Chain A
């Protein structure tokens, strides 16, 4: 498996609180992504990054922000969590030229 870890793996928080999920890779891959997975919706792209300080919005970016200050770390922040953001969040990395994504193990977030 690709060297990609997510933290925390599980989190319960209350509406209105800020939350940050971290994705860390040891593969030195240029591209990193955050997806959320919800029943009936598959995997939806939130934000992605082409390199350090180079990020862009995905399909469902409202309410989320990201930062990438180092190649190995990609942070996803919910500034003020809402119940609709209860989901499983997957980070993924990819090499240039292949298109294949390697996913982390996922972070389950519950917003009460």
Chain B
């Protein structure tokens, strides 16, 4: 089955700097790659996602890149702010044959991002 590895496990940056979190996946059939943010004591929430027919996607200060050949994808946060401090999870899933994505997401281990003021 799918295996998703995420690095680093912790990341500390100064406010205003950029942060990059990287994930690799094992199943070449995976075609949906979301990123979730979980603030302390809260539920995970989707912040950005990318599908396999796209190499990069941006949404304001966050962007995700996908390299299908190497089977890795990355989250980039620019101009970090203290409110970006949270745990970030990458995930991967694939379609069932003849059906849309099932949402059967396999998650990475998570990255704790600390943004220092």
A-B interface pairs (CB < 8 A), number: 66
Pairwise interchain contact A43-B32, C-beta atoms closer than 8 A:
no
Closest CB in chain A relative to B117 CB, distance in Å: 26
Instruction: Render A40-82 as a binary contact track against B, CB cut-off 8 A, 1 for contact.
Output: 1111110010100000001100000000000000000000000
Q: Given A42-B89, A42-B110, is A101 in contact with B102 using a C-beta cutoff of 8 Å?
A: no
Pairwise interchain contact A33-B103, C-beta atoms closer than 8 A:
yes
Decide if B61 is an interface residue (CB 8 Å cutoff).
no
Pairwise interchain contact B6-A42, C-beta atoms closer than 8 A:
yes
Pairwise interchain contact A99-B106, C-beta atoms closer than 8 A:
no
Q: Give B64-117 interface residues, CB cut-off 8 Å to A.
A: 89, 91, 93, 100-110
State the CA gap A90–B41 with chains docked (Å).
12
New A-B contacts (7) at CB < 8 Å, excluding given A45-B106, A99-B34 = A42-B89, A43-B110, A50-B102, A92-B103, A94-B103, A96-B100, A101-B44
State the CA gap A106–B44 with chains docked (Å).
10
Which A residues contact B (CB, under 8 angstroms)? 31, 33, 35, 40-45, 48, 50, 58-59, 90, 92, 94, 96-101, 103-106
Contacts of A106 in B (CB 8 A): 43
Q: Given A42-B6, A42-B89, A42-B110, is A98 in contact with B101 using a C-beta cutoff of 8 Å?
A: yes
State the CA gap A90–B32 with chains docked (Å).
21
Closest CB in chain A relative to B48 CB, distance in Å: 11
Give B94's nearest chain A residue, CB to CB. Answer: A99
Pairwise interchain contact A43-B89, C-beta atoms closer than 8 A:
yes
Contacts of B6 in A (CB 8 A): 42
Closest CB in chain B relative to A31 CB, distance in Å: 5
Closest CB in chain A relative to B32 CB, distance in Å: 5
Pairwise interchain contact A99-B43, C-beta atoms closer than 8 A:
no
* 6 A-B pairs in the complex with CB atoms less than 8 angstroms apart: A31-B103, A42-B107, A43-B107, A98-B103, A99-B100, A100-B103
Contacts of B49 in A (CB 8 A): 99-100
State the CA gap A33–B104 with chains docked (Å).
8
Contacts of B103 in A (CB 8 A): 31, 33, 48, 92, 94, 98-101
